[in-house]
Structures are given as C-alpha cells and as structure tokens.
C-alpha cells in the first residue's frame, strides 16, 4: 500500500484514545503505538515534517494500519504494553533484560519455610522480590533467621504428616547465647512436654513479623521487641531481656544502613531516565519508610523516534509489572502521565529531590558501567560504533578511522605556533602528533596561519606518499575553516578529505561553503569525539607555544649580555630559579655564583635598564 492510501486510512481515524498497529507486506505487526488522539498521532507519520532515518525506515515498511479504541488514555497505555509483550514488534523498544532474578518465598504450608528461589510456583505461596542484589537478599535472610527460628527442612516428619492438621505439632528448640536452633518437630501434646517448644501460633506470629520486615516495615517488630524486653526486665529475667536487646540492635543496624531519606516517605516508586542518542538508561528505586528496599537498572535501545517521556512511561509499566509494585505515588525527573490512579511528582527541593537525584546518579553510573563493559569486552566494536555514528551525524562517505585536528597559539602575534593531533580508531596516536613553527605569516593572522600549516602538513604527506585522513577538524569558525579549505583546494585534496570546523562558544559544527552550523546533542558520542580532538590539539599546541615563549624570554633577558654564555645562564637559573630573581639580586650574591667579572656584567645590565 502506498503513502497516499495510508494517508486516506489515517484521515479516517477517530479523534479518540486508542492503540494503532502498523503491519508490513507479510501481515506482521512491525510497530504498536498508543495515542490520546488516534487521527492526529497516526497522521503525523505521513505529514511533510522531517523524520529521523529510523522513522523513515519504519514508514517505508508500512503496508496496512489497524487500530483499537479504548475509553481513556491510561487504558491505551495498558493495552499498548500488553500487545507489545505479546507480539514483540520489530520497531518497538524492549527492555534488555533476560535475567531470572531471585525471590524470597514463604511457602504455603504449616510452619512455612522461608527460602531463596528463582521459580515462581502459583500454589498460594508468597513471594517477595525479585531482588537484583544477592547481597541484599542474603542480608535480609540472615537478619530474619537471627531474629526468629525459621525451619528449613521437614526434619523428622514427612511433608504429609506436617500438613495433616489433625496432628498437633510444635517445634523443638535448643537455645544458647540468644540464638535458637530447631531440633525437629514434636508431635506430642505440647502442654505435657518439658522441652522448649515453639507452638504453631507462635511460629505464625514470627512469620508475620518476617513478612513486615520483607516489606520494609520495621516499626511494629521493633515495638514488639521493646515490649518483650521491658517485660523480661521487670520480671528480673535479664538473660532473656538481653537476647531481645541484641536482636533489636541487629534490626536497627540493618534499618540504619538502608535508611537514606525521611522515614515519612513510604510506599513510593522512584524512576529516573538518562537519555542519549541511541540508548536510554532507567533506574528504579522502591522506597518504604525512608528505606531503599529495591534498586534496579535497565538499558533501552532506541529503535524508534520516541522522546524521553514515552520511553520512561513504557519502562515504568514494564518494571512495575515485573516487580509487582502497587505504589500509588511515583517520583521522577521527567514529566509523565500514567493515569489518574497514580500520583506523579517532580520534586524540586528537599528529601524527595534528594532521592530523585540519587536515582539519577545510579542511572548515570549504570550507563558508565555499560559503556566500559562494551569497551572491554569488544573494543573494536565499541570504536566501530562511535565511528559509524560519526559518519551518520557528519554525513561522511565513510567511517573516519583516521582523523586529524589543527589548532593555533600565539600571544599578540608573537611566538606563533600550531599543532596537529592524530586519532586512529577514535584513539590518540601520539607518535604522529606534530608541532609547527609559523614561517610565512607575520603578526596575528589566525586565518593565514591555519592555511599555512594545513598546506604544509598535507603537502608533506603527499610528497612522502603517506596515508591521508578521512576527516580533518579545524579548531575555529567559518574563517579558519575557509582558510583550511583553500589549502586543500590548492593541493587538490578538497574532494578527498572531509573538512569541518568547531566553534568554541556554542560548539557549532561548520561545513565548507555552508553558513548554517550543525548543533549536535550535547550527549552525542560524535560531539564528544570532536571535543576530545579539539581539546587535545589545544593542549598540544599550547604546550609548544609556552616552551617557545619561555625560550624567547630567556634569550631576551640573558643572552643579550655580552660575555654571558649558555653555561653561565644555566648556573644562574639553577641557583636563582628565574630571570626576575636574577634581576633583583644583589651583586655580592651574584659574585658567589658566577664570579666578580660576570656578576658586574649582569648587575650593570639590569641597573641600566
């Protein structure tokens, strides 16, 4: 179906909320989207406005359009999410997450066991998680088992006998130094037993306390422990009171490690997004009574022209579903809309802003880790990706494996120098760096200096039959770029080498014979590569300029004195450190270093100035 026919379909869509589906020629769903206004949203694909390459590719593959009407925009959110999960369309973003995370299971049985599992069995058992950190899950289990005796096996009875409610059961305990060890089940009459017992009702109360801790609710457990501790103290049962006190300290220590904000912040989800050209990084924090009870990061590959709002909305629905979150409030750094039942906050100050900042910091750190892992696991692919993106962004004919950058330095037209730095495979190749002393230009003429060094650089490469760069970067605006272009034209290289300039003020990218600059995204890897080259060229050029200026100052001040040679100058500088110190030194001090005759020459020179 051609664009004209697709426009006819989109023009006949209703102005109501819904979900639209794009099909290819093989009747496969290639994209699913939601809309507050179906007609307006779908029409935008076929308007004359410019789209990215990804969007144009999608549009070229559309053969048919279908839609589903819903009552509200939030219904469209949910339906879109469910359909994407079911059909996994080619052009929809997906969360990169194939891991099976561990859960804490409280088994649906008498005297419930509590253990780690990666499988969810729908048998009435309760599951808490999933947890993305095994350290967190082990800390929680150690804490609970330290506070309460929890059974881990069937001990001396079969599962059938344990779950037979006709059997009156209790657990036999061995207590020592505040800790309890379960020895097994007791199937006798509990009241007549002389052993230390844990009845089923007592065990279930412990399990309920454990559930509260798993939910991040420490208040009631702490209150119950304090009551028991005071009760034992009044009865002069100090050993038992001490046992409770130690468990209370363990609970408070765990809570203090996890509490990072105001304890009044309860049952809140925090989602932040850090977005780049091709990837978005999402962090999720779950807060309960001021404690972070869960943290999760994910990376989303941008397969389509979606803004941060749409990406984050998609990720929130997916992540909340994954972690079974029912929080009614969300803090975030991006304006979103998830329906009327969820309160969205974009904090500006205070504790709420602090937790959003922490979440964003996690997202940024996750991004750095992801990039470093890619770089370490496959450095060739990492640099290939950067260079391929540079080719696209700068509209080059091929990837710029060899890039050179030029920069000039001078002080009021004196001691003029230039530098050329070389990057190969997006990395500095320092052995090919070159310094230039300006030979033909007199005074401060940055344009003429740029033309001179570009000409000299590539005249020599041609003469020596060395490889030429795919891209040359000029540190400067349109003037410097035009001068560099003139040099390449003179050498008949203007069609063989791509040339751009970068202006410092707004980081504009200029192309030859084009007065309109390109503004790359500040987070773009292409811009970062260009900035690295520019900064390295500036550093290298400035280093040579300072050395030359220092040498020039040395010549002006000391070599102009008749009878003072290089050896004497070095002695003086080694002892007095600078020309300024030499010029103000008393004659008797100069005599100590260079003798009376040379001391008089130096002293009289500075005195006569």
For residue 195, the model assigns a pLDDT of 58
- Residue 194: pLDDT above 50? no
CA-CA distance, 426 to 533, in Å (whole number)? 9
- Residue 520: pLDDT above 60? yes
- Residue 192: pLDDT above 50? no
Mean pLDDT value across residues 175-193: 70
Among the candidates 158, 190, 217, a domain finishes at 217
Percentage of the chain surpassing pLDDT 90? 26
For residue 250, the model assigns a pLDDT of 73
Top pLDDT among 21 and 302 is at: 21
Nearest CA-CA partner of 453 in 418, 485, 486: 418
What CATH code is carried by the domain that includes residue 330?
3.30.420
Top pLDDT among 532 and 141 is at: 532
Compute the residue count for the chain: 609
Question: Domain range spanning residue 83?
Answer: 3-87
- Residue 468: pLDDT above 90? yes
Q: Which residues contact residue 589 at a Cβ distance below 8 angstroms, ignoring those fewer than 6 apart?
A: none
pLDDT tens-place string over residues 57-88: 889 899 989 888 877 776 777 678 777 877 88
CA-CA distance, 212 to 214, in Å (whole number)? 5
For residue 222, the model assigns a pLDDT of 80
Q: Locate 37 and state its tokens.
A: 């206004």
Residue linked to tokens 């199937």: 187
Residue 578: Cβ within 10 Å count: 11
What CATH code is carried by the domain that includes residue 61?
3.40.1440.10
Q: Given pLDDT bands bounded at 50, 70 and 90, which one contains residue 456? A: very high
Among the candidates 507, 523, 549, a domain finishes at 549
Lowest mean pLDDT among 204-218, 412-426, 538-552: 538-552
Lowest mean pLDDT among 92-101, 168-177, 357-366, 494-503: 92-101
Top pLDDT among 82 and 178 is at: 82
Nearest CA-CA partner of 4 in 91, 87, 62: 62
Top pLDDT among 562 and 596 is at: 596
Classify residue 230: in a domain, yes or no: no
pLDDT tens-place string over residues 304-337: 677 889 899 989 988 988 888 888 899 999 999 8
For residue 99, the model assigns a pLDDT of 57
Angle at CA of residue 390, ends 385 and 395, nearest 5°: 130
Q: Are residues 79 and 100 in the same domain?
A: no
Q: Given pLDDT bands bounded at 50, 70 and 90, which one contains residue 486? A: very high
Angle at CA of residue 198, ends 196 and 203, nearest 5°: 160
Top pLDDT among 180 and 211 is at: 211
Mean pLDDT value across residues 148-170: 86
Nearest CA-CA partner of 507 in 495, 521, 494: 521
- Helix or strand (DSSP H, E) at 600: helix 596-607
Mean pLDDT value across residues 395-421: 82
Q: Locate 608 and state its tokens.
A: 């006569």
* 390 and 529 Cβ atoms separated by less than 8 Å: yes
Q: Are residues 361 and 476 in the same domain?
A: no
* 294 and 354 Cβ atoms separated by less than 8 Å: no
Pairing of strands 514-518, 508-511: antiparallel
Classify residue 471: in a domain, yes or no: yes
Top pLDDT among 469 and 295 is at: 469
HSE-up of residue 290 (Cα within 13 Å, Cβ side): 13
Q: Are residues 79 and 143 in the same domain?
A: no
Classify residue 242: in a domain, yes or no: no
Q: Are residues 344 and 466 in the same domain?
A: no
Classify residue 133: in a domain, yes or no: yes
Among the candidates 87, 122, 145, a domain finishes at 87
Alpha-helical regions (H) of 491-524: none
Mean pLDDT value across residues 272-288: 88
For residue 86, the model assigns a pLDDT of 75
List b or e across 313-341, with b for residues whose CB sees 16 or more CB atoms inside 10 angstroms.
Answer: bbbbbbbbeebeeebebbbbbbebebeee
Q: Are residues 437 and 540 in the same domain?
A: yes
* Mean pLDDT estimate for the chain: 83
Mean pLDDT value across residues 101-119: 88
Q: Are residues 500 and 420 in the same domain?
A: yes
Q: Are residues 67 and 130 in the same domain?
A: no
- Residue 123: pLDDT above 90? no
CA-CA distance, 32 to 65, in Å (whole number)? 10
Strand order in the sheet with 170-176: 179-186, 170-176, 197-199
Q: Are residues 420 and 522 in the same domain?
A: yes
Most confidently modeled range among 136-140, 248-252, 270-274, 295-299: 270-274
For residue 51, the model assigns a pLDDT of 75
Mean pLDDT value across residues 272-280: 87
Lowest mean pLDDT among 153-157, 295-299, 414-418, 494-498: 414-418
- Residue 403: pLDDT above 90? yes
Q: Locate 10 and state its tokens.
A: 């989109």
Classify residue 104: in a domain, yes or no: yes
Classify residue 420: in a domain, yes or no: yes
Mean pLDDT value across residues 457-482: 93
* 411 and 546 Cβ atoms separated by less than 8 Å: no
Mean pLDDT value across residues 260-272: 78
Residue 139: Cβ within 10 Å count: 14
* 74 and 340 Cβ atoms separated by less than 8 Å: yes
Q: Are residues 481 and 429 in the same domain?
A: yes
Q: Is 562 exposed, middle or buried (0-12, 13-18, 19+ CB in 10 A)?
A: exposed
Q: Are residues 442 and 510 in the same domain?
A: yes
Classify residue 236: in a domain, yes or no: no
Q: Which residues contact residue 208 at a Cβ distance below 8 angstroms, ignoring those fewer than 6 apart?
A: none
Q: Are residues 411 and 475 in the same domain?
A: yes
Q: Are residues 433 and 360 in the same domain?
A: no
pLDDT tens-place string over residues 338-359: 876 889 999 998 888 988 988 8
Q: Given pLDDT bands bounded at 50, 70 and 90, which one contains residue 432? A: very high
For residue 97, the model assigns a pLDDT of 55
Q: Provide the domain count of the chain.
A: 5
Lowest mean pLDDT among 39-43, 52-56, 215-219, 598-602: 215-219
Classify residue 21: in a domain, yes or no: yes
Mean pLDDT value across residues 471-494: 93
Lowest mean pLDDT among 129-133, 267-271, 421-425: 129-133
Question: What Rg do the C-alpha atoms of the chain give, in angstroms?
Answer: 37
């Amino acid at each position: 179906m051609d664009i004209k026919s697709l426009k006819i379909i989109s023009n006949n869509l209703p102005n109501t909320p819904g979900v639209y589906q794009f099909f290819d020629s093989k009747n496969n769903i290639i994209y699913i989207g939601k809309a507050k206004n179906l007609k307006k949203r779908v029409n935008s694909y076929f308007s004359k406005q410019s789209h990215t390459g990804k969007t144009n590719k999608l549009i070229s593959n559309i053969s048919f359009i279908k839609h589903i009407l819903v009552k509200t925009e939030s219904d469209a959110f949910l339906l879109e999410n469910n359909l994407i999960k079911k059909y996994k369309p080619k052009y929809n973003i997906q969360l990169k997450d194939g891991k099976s995370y561990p859960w804490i299971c409280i088994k649906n049985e008498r005297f419930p066991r509590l253990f780690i599992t990666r499988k969810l069995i729908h048998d009435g058992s309760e599951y808490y998680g999933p947890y993305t950190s095994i350290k967190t899950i082990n800390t929680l289990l150690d804490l609970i088992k330290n506070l309460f005796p929890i059974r881990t096996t069937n001990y001396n009875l079969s599962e059938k006998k344990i779950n037979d409610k006709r059997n009156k059961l209790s657990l036999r305990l061995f207590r020592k130094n505040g800790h309890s060890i379960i020895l097994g089940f007791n199937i006798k009459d509990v009241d007549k037993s002389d052993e230390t017992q844990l009845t089923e009702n007592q065990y279930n109360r412990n399990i309920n306390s454990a559930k509260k801790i798993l939910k991040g609710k420490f208040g009631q457990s702490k209150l119950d422990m304090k009551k028991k501790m005071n009760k034992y103290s009044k009865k002069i049962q100090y050993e038992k009171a001490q046992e409770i006190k130690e468990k209370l300290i363990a609970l408070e220590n765990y809570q203090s490690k996890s509490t990072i904000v105001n304890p009044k912040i309860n049952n809140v989800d925090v989602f932040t997004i850090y977005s780049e050209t091709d990837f978005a990084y999402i962090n999720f924090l779950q807060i309960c009574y001021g404690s972070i009870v869960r943290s999760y990061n994910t990376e989303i590959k941008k397969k389509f022209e979606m803004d941060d709002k749409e990406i984050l909305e998609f990720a929130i629905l997916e992540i909340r579903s994954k972690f079974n979150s029912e929080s009614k409030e969300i803090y975030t750094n991006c304006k979103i809309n998830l329906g009327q039942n969820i309160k969205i906050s974009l904090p500006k100050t205070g504790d709420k802003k602090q937790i959003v900042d922490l979440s964003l910091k996690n997202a940024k750190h996750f991004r750095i880790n992801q990039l470093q892992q890619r770089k370490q696991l496959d450095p060739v692919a990492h640099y290939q990706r950067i260079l391929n993106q540079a080719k696209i962004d700068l509209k080059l004919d091929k990837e710029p494996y060899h890039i050179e950058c030029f920069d000039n330095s001078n002080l009021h037209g004196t001691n003029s120098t230039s530098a050329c730095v070389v990057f190969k495979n997006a990395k500095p190749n320092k052995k090919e760096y070159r310094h230039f002393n300006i030979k033909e230009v007199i005074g401060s003429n940055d344009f003429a200096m740029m033309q001179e060094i570009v000409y000299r650089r590539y005249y020599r490469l041609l003469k020596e039959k060395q490889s030429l760069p795919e891209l040359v970067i000029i540190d400067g605006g349109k003037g410097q770029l035009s001068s560099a272009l003139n040099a390449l034209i003179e050498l008949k290289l203007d069609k063989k080498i791509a040339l751009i300039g970068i202006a410092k003020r707004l980081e504009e990218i200029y192309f030859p014979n084009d007065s309109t600059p390109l503004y790359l995204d500040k987070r773009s890897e292409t811009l970062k590569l260009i900035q690295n080259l520019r900064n390295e060229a500036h550093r290298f050029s400035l280093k040579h300029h300072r050395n030359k200026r220092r040498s020039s100052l040395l010549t002006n001040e000391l070599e102009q004195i008749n009878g003072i040679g290089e050896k004497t100058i070095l002695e003086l500088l080694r002892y007095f450190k600078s020309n300024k110190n030499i010029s103000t030194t008393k004659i008797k001090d100069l005599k100590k270093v260079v003798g009376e005759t040379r001391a008089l020459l130096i002293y009289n020179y500075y005195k006569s100035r």
